[in-house]
Amino acid sequence: MELTKAAARQIVEPLFGGGELASVTVRGGGRNSAVHDVSVTAPGQDVIVKVYSEHFSWKLHKEVYVYGLLSGHGDLPVPEVLAADDSRSRLPASYDTAPLPGLLTDLHGATSSA
Protein backbone atom coordinates (compact mmCIF):
# COMPACT_ATOMS: atom_id res chain seq x y z
CA MET A 1 0.00 0.00 0.00
CA GLU A 2 1.35 3.40 -0.92
CA LEU A 3 1.28 5.87 1.94
CA THR A 4 -0.17 9.20 0.81
CA LYS A 5 0.72 12.50 2.48
CA ALA A 6 -2.80 12.72 3.89
CA ALA A 7 -2.53 9.26 5.45
CA ALA A 8 0.97 9.98 6.78
CA ARG A 9 -0.30 13.19 8.35
CA GLN A 10 -3.00 11.22 10.23
CA ILE A 11 -0.29 8.95 11.62
CA VAL A 12 2.31 11.55 12.67
CA GLU A 13 0.09 14.37 13.97
CA PRO A 14 -0.80 12.51 17.19
CA LEU A 15 2.89 11.71 17.70
CA PHE A 16 4.32 15.20 17.24
CA GLY A 17 1.43 17.57 17.87
CA GLY A 18 1.26 19.57 14.69
CA GLY A 19 4.65 19.15 13.07
CA GLU A 20 4.34 19.98 9.40
CA LEU A 21 4.66 17.05 7.03
CA ALA A 22 7.46 17.65 4.52
CA SER A 23 7.62 14.44 2.49
CA VAL A 24 6.75 10.76 2.20
CA THR A 25 9.30 8.58 0.40
CA VAL A 26 9.03 4.88 -0.38
CA ARG A 27 12.01 2.98 1.00
CA GLY A 28 13.00 -0.34 -0.50
CA GLY A 29 13.62 -3.56 1.34
CA GLY A 30 10.27 -4.34 2.92
CA ARG A 31 9.37 -7.90 2.03
CA ASN A 32 6.16 -8.19 4.01
CA SER A 33 5.29 -4.52 4.40
CA ALA A 34 5.64 -1.25 2.54
CA VAL A 35 8.31 0.88 4.24
CA HIS A 36 8.17 4.70 4.02
CA ASP A 37 10.33 7.55 5.29
CA VAL A 38 8.11 10.33 6.59
CA SER A 39 9.80 13.68 7.12
CA VAL A 40 8.28 16.19 9.56
CA THR A 41 9.65 19.76 9.51
CA ALA A 42 8.73 20.78 13.04
CA PRO A 43 9.85 19.49 15.48
CA GLY A 44 12.26 18.06 12.93
CA GLN A 45 11.43 14.42 13.57
CA ASP A 46 11.67 11.91 10.73
CA VAL A 47 10.06 8.50 11.12
CA ILE A 48 9.78 5.17 9.38
CA VAL A 49 6.22 4.00 8.77
CA LYS A 50 5.70 0.35 7.93
CA VAL A 51 2.34 -0.50 6.36
CA TYR A 52 1.37 -4.16 6.38
CA SER A 53 -0.79 -5.80 3.73
CA GLU A 54 -3.90 -7.56 5.03
CA HIS A 55 -2.22 -10.89 4.43
CA PHE A 56 0.73 -9.96 6.67
CA SER A 57 -1.00 -7.82 9.31
CA TRP A 58 -0.42 -10.59 11.89
CA LYS A 59 3.30 -9.83 11.66
CA LEU A 60 2.75 -6.54 13.48
CA HIS A 61 1.89 -8.46 16.67
CA LYS A 62 4.73 -10.94 16.19
CA GLU A 63 7.19 -8.11 15.83
CA VAL A 64 5.85 -6.38 18.94
CA TYR A 65 6.61 -9.55 20.85
CA VAL A 66 10.07 -10.06 19.31
CA TYR A 67 11.14 -6.46 19.98
CA GLY A 68 10.00 -6.81 23.56
CA LEU A 69 12.23 -9.86 23.93
CA LEU A 70 15.20 -8.16 22.28
CA SER A 71 14.92 -4.96 24.30
CA GLY A 72 15.38 -6.93 27.52
CA HIS A 73 18.76 -8.34 26.50
CA GLY A 74 21.40 -5.77 27.29
CA ASP A 75 22.89 -3.53 24.67
CA LEU A 76 21.20 -4.84 21.53
CA PRO A 77 20.30 -2.01 19.12
CA VAL A 78 16.50 -2.21 19.23
CA PRO A 79 14.70 0.80 17.73
CA GLU A 80 12.15 2.70 19.73
CA VAL A 81 8.71 2.17 18.24
CA LEU A 82 6.53 5.22 18.60
CA ALA A 83 3.13 3.74 17.73
CA ALA A 84 1.41 0.76 16.20
CA ASP A 85 -2.17 0.39 15.05
CA ASP A 86 -4.09 -2.54 13.66
CA SER A 87 -7.54 -1.00 14.15
CA ARG A 88 -7.64 0.36 10.58
CA SER A 89 -9.08 3.62 11.97
CA ARG A 90 -6.38 5.88 10.47
CA LEU A 91 -5.39 3.67 7.51
CA PRO A 92 -7.12 0.75 5.80
CA ALA A 93 -4.12 -1.34 6.91
CA SER A 94 -2.02 -2.11 10.00
CA TYR A 95 1.08 0.05 10.55
CA ASP A 96 3.85 0.91 12.96
CA THR A 97 6.30 3.79 13.29
CA ALA A 98 9.87 4.22 14.50
CA PRO A 99 12.18 7.23 14.53
CA LEU A 100 14.99 7.64 12.02
CA PRO A 101 17.75 6.68 12.16
CA GLY A 102 16.70 3.20 13.12
CA LEU A 103 17.53 -0.42 12.59
CA LEU A 104 15.58 -1.67 9.59
CA THR A 105 15.21 -5.40 9.61
CA ASP A 106 12.39 -7.88 9.23
CA LEU A 107 12.09 -7.69 13.02
CA HIS A 108 10.45 -4.32 13.53
CA GLY A 109 7.69 -4.02 16.09
CA ALA A 110 5.72 -1.84 18.39
CA THR A 111 5.37 -1.16 22.07
CA SER A 112 2.05 0.67 22.01
CA SER A 113 -1.25 0.46 20.18
CA ALA A 114 -3.46 3.31 19.09
Within 10 Å of residue 1's Cβ, how many Cβ atoms? 15
pLDDT at 101: 60
Q: Which domains, from first to last, does the chain contain?
A: 5-99 (3.30.200.20)
pTM value is 0.78
Q: What DSSP string runs through 17-83?
A: SSPPEEEEEEES--SSEEEEEEEESSS--EEEEEEE-GGGTHHHHHHHHHHHHHHTSTT---PPP-E
pLDDT at 25: 92
Low-confidence ranges of the chain (pLDDT < 70): 18, 42-44, 101-114
pLDDT at 109: 41
Amino acid at 59: K
